[in-house]
Structure 1
Amino acid sequence: MTAEQELPSVSAGGGVGAGAAGTDPAGKPDRIDTLVVGAGIAGLTAARLLQREGHRVVVLEARSRVGGRVWTDRTGGRITDRGASWIHGIHDSPVEQAARAFGMRMVEFTVGGYQPDSRPLTYFEAAGARMSPDAVRRYADDIRTVNTVLERLISDAGSEATFGDLVERALAEQDWSSARVESVREYNDRRAQEQYGVAMMHLGAHGLDDDVIDGPEVVFPDGYDELASRLADGLDVRLGHAVTRVAWASEGVVISTADASFAAARTIVTVPVGVLQAGDLVLEPPLPPRQARALALFRMNAFEKVVLRFRQRFWEDGVYGIRQLGPEGEWWHSWYDLGRLHDEPALLTFAAGPAAIATRDWSDDDIAASSVAQLRRLYGDAVPDPTSVVVTRWQDDPFSRGSYAYMLPGSVGADHDVLAEPLRPAPCGPAVLHLAGEATWGDDPATVPAALLSGHRAAQNVLERPVAVSDLWA
């Protein structure tokens, strides 16, 4: 039995059946209009739109499931989104529109953008004492004051500066005590880590340009992966097909896996930038210098989720999360109440940036114990041992090599979009290679909307005409 026969695929009818081989009986590669590499949100979006326009599309996916970095774990009857969780602002969001059209339940949870006071948060100062409401207001006001200065500095900054450089410049303009300066410096470093999984001194100056929340944030109590499942419905998705080579030329593309080859007029490659950089998937010829330069300006981050479930709740009702200031919060500073999703005592925290790197080889139990030790510093013996622990391992995932991309110093927002420029082997010939995915969308990278919109753009580039994004759910 061949590998293709053993592996499941999402069939053209939307069910699961035997995967079709990549070659016909004579040994010649199948001929397809468009091959999509990757069944994440970007790839499924592009494939769905192209198929609606009459293209024969095949999606090749290395994993045994669709969704990519949208992954819902349902072990033991519990729902845990190991990948994407939030829509960071639902106003004019195509993901919110798609979710509503698909009937996906949404719950408001507005703190995922690391705002200081958008919803009730319980703050603890460096010594471990609870902060008063007045102290929290002063702290949030200081953050907003520096953010206003940062907006000006970032707009004038060259690409070589880091976000941390600009934070220091903004703080230097304030006539504040050292304690006030340090608290806002700390906030911005943790903001960079929680938003992009990297310390602020290693994030490009424009790395948080997109960090704007437009409207309430929402999460999905039934799992974010319902979006991927609905987008995949009716598509020819070949699961378990890890692409190793994409050869592109004027006459089309030939894509190779370990066990099969596929030919098409063109391809849309949606794998994360970490996979492109690792060399596990080889482009022949390599990307042109313009796109190669842009790719080199991004890195996949170190960012892992930690979900702790308890027998009983020990934190206050009505709060969205817990924040710890000061050196004790270097790794574990924010915990978010998942009880509003599933009516269970559960907290979500993140091992982000340096914490993710330092704990990469730790067991799940050791990571949980480290985080719980900080909770006990704040709440004392009221904190029980967790009944279950979920820790993600995106850094070690060969098909992502991190959670999402961040900008290195030297990059600007337009570099995202450079990666998505259609590539033509001959100047006047057809575009045969298209890149898509969250890292290729400049307006709101590192998000599910970015992935979806990049797939929409790729489909339009293939068609060479506009199509409505709402066709995805029409």
Structure 2
Amino acid sequence: MTTYDTIVIGAGMSGVTAARMLADDGATVLVLEARDRVGGRMNTDRSAGFAVDLGASWVHGIEESPLWDLVQALGIPTLEYTVGSFQAGGRTIENFDGEGRRMDAEATARWVDDVAEADRMLGEEIAASSPGDTYLDVTERALDRSGFAPERIDEIREFFRHRVEEQCGAWIGDLDAHGLDEDAIDGDEVIFPRGYDELPRRTSAGLDIRREHVVTRVSRHADGVTVSTDRGEFRARSALVTVPLGVLKSGAIEFAPPLPAAVAEPIERLGMGVFNKVFIQFPERFWDEESYVLRALGEAGEHWHSWYDVSAVSGRPTLLTFAAGPFGRRVQDLADEDIVADVVSALRVLYGDSVGAPTAHWITRWGQDPFSNGSYSHLALGSSHHDHDELAGPVDGVLHFAGEATWGEEPATVGAAFYSGHRAAERILGHEIDLAEFAARIREREQNPIR
């Protein structure tokens, strides 16, 4: 049996980043991937003749971002699409009040100011919070202090709930009070007209990737690891596990001996959210040309509340909305036609008969995907920011972990996956890896392929 230097489990962004860096350094690397494709939660559907990103879509903040530097170095085209982490203002947003009526400029300005004031008080409540406080606890304290009219409090409460759902895929009462501390974006955000999975596909080109190999067990022993799959066993001096947190929490992979508490407990404490996408194309645009977002506030937006105009990718009128948290888990059990009908019904409350019959749709069900068991990690009640980084290991010097859930500075992002893969490769090799040189090697390999 061949003994590799490193086996990487998972061909998402963190896995292919680490594998590429290790292989470029001369290591023998095997990547085991359960799916029939690379990319993991970066999944682009091109069946309609244009890119639909069913998983990750954005680079969130391009200032001082090594991920953005890599995108630029590889010449991958992007479109500026800055939404600012579910912001109340800052971009052209068509807001509707709790009764579904379009808000004018004055009402919108008052709304944005109210959210800013509530957020200021929320920041104070978070800073003064105690262990065991949820994000729901601190938002209610802030709203109690606000002095706003009851109907305005209801709208801001709904806004805060949806913000947690969109950012974390979780119910506001399950999120730790500090769960959005890292939710900061520096600079513009961008999306990918050719599809985000171009990044992991180009990074992974030429690697030894065994697709449709489902890992069931990782055993540590004196001279390395043995990785068992549904297609046989593989041995290596070290292993890097990059599967999503939801897979680790499910126990689908057995670790022998069991993982130490330093890694096992963060897996247990951290949460895995559900964040599903619903893309719907329409025969004609019924919203303003310059609008980034359509948003229903309060009761009108209890379930479907925000629609993002992503028409620029396909050139056809297309809105993207989300079903996240408990609502997302319920919705993914429904048939496509029922989901689309419900979304269209919510839009017609706002826009009436101008909403035409949809011409196409795409719907995700990440919570039902056995190779992710959710969308991305979040800071569940009882966990801390340190849990993300503690999860990375290493264990016994031979077992490492990477992925968005292992990067405490900005979890739940592609950037976190990329940076954690870089960190894991450096730890395995025992020396630093220059990211500019990493990008240059990818370009050189593309320009001078081995025949």
TM-score by length of 1: 0.91
Instruction: State the Cα deviation string for residues 113-135 of structure 1 (Å, max 9, x = none).
Output: 11111210100001111001121
Q: Which amino acid aligns with 1:36?
A: V
Q: Aligned letter for 1:351?
A: A
Query: Do the aligned residues in 2 keep the contact of 1:438 with 1:450 (CA within 8 Å)?
Result: yes
1:112–1:345 distance in 2 versus 1, CA, 3 Å: farther
Equivalent in the alignment of 2:404: 438
Matched, 1:76 2:42: no
Choose which of 158, 166, 169 in structure 2 pairs with 1:186. 158
Number of the residue aligned with 1:216: 188
What letter matches 1:181 in structure 2?
I
Pick from 215, 233, 249 the counterpart of residue 243 of structure 1: 215
Distance apart, 1:45 and its partner CA:
0.7
The secondary structure found in structure 1 opposite 2:146 is: coil
Structure 1: gaps spanning 5 or more residues: 1-28, 425-430
1:456 equivalent in structure 2: 422
Within the candidate set 378, 391, 405, 1:419 is matched to 391
- Provide the rounded CA distance (Å) in 2 between the counterparts of 1:237 and 1:261: 15
* 1:112 CA displacement: 5.6
The answer on 1:360 being equivalent to 2:309 is: no
- Gap change, CA 1:420 and 1:137, over 3 Å in 2: same
**1:66-119: per-residue Cα shift (whole Å, max 9, x none)?**
000000001121310000001111111222111111111111111161111121
Deviation of the 1:50 alpha carbon: 1.0
- Deviation, 1:386, is 0.5
User: Given the superposition, is the C-alpha separation of residues 76 and 341 from structure 1 closer, same or farther in structure 2, using an over 3 Å criterion?
Assistant: closer
Query: SS of 2:370's equivalent?
Result: coil
- Tell me the secondary structure at the aligned position of residue 227 of structure 1: helix
Q: Report the 3-state secondary structure (helix = DSSP H, G, I; strand = E; otherwise coil) of the residue aligned with 1:473.
A: helix
> Where does residue 273 of structure 2 map in the other structure?
301
Structure 1 residues 273-326: Cα deviation after superposition (integer angstroms, max 9, x where no partner) = 111121211111111112111111122212110000111111111000100012
Residue in 2 that maps onto 1:123: 95
Going from structure 1 to structure 2, the CA distance change for 1:297 and 1:339 (only over 3 Å counts) comes to same
Determine the structure 1 residue equivalent to 2:314: 342
Corresponding residue of 2:235? 263
Question: Residues 386-401 of structure 1 correspond to what in structure 2 (within 5 A)?
Answer: 386-401=358-373
User: Is the CA contact 1:159–1:412 (under 8 Å) kept in the aligned structure 2?
Assistant: no
Deviation at 1:154, TM superposition (A): 2.3
Q: How does 1:35-434 map to 2 (within 5 A)?
A: 35-111=7-83, 113-424=85-396, 431-434=397-400
Distance of 1:155 and 1:473 partners within structure 2: 40
Cα deviations across residues 391-431 of structure 1 (Å, max 9, x unaligned)? 0011111100111112211111111001012111xxxxxx1
2:445 maps to none
CA distance in 1, matches of 2:251, 2:172: 28
Residue correspondences, number: 440
Aligned residue in 2 for 1:468 = 434
TM-aligned CA distance change 1:49 to 1:200, over 3 Å: same
Q: Which moved more, 1:82-91 or 1:284-293?
A: 284-293
| Aligned partner of residue 199 in structure 1, secondary structure | coil
Please state how far the C-alpha of 1:37 moved relative to its aligned partner: 0.3
Q: Per-residue displacement from partner, 1:148-203 (whole Å, max 9, x unpaired)?
A: 23233323433421111111122222222222222221111110011111121111
**Structure 2 Cα separation of the partners of residues 112 and 346 of structure 1:** 20
In 1, Cα distance between the equivalents of 2:80 and 2:34? 33
Report the Cα distance in structure 2 between the residues aligned to 1:159 and 1:295, rounded to whole angstroms: 19
1:365/1:389 contact within 8 Å kept: no
Query: Distance in 2 between the 1:34 and 1:279 partners?
Result: 22
**Offset of residue 465 of structure 1:** 2.1
State the shift of 1:237 in Å: 1.0
Distance 1:279 1:30 in 2: 27
TM-superposed deviation, 1:250: 3.0
CA RMSD of the aligned region, Å? Answer: 1.2
Residues 459 and 159 (structure 1), Cα distance of their counterparts in 2 relative to 1, 3 Å cut: farther
AA at the equivalent of 1:251: D
The residue identity in structure 1 corresponding to 2:315 is D
Name the amino acid aligned to 2:405: A
Secondary structure (helix, strand or coil) at the match of 1:351 reads strand
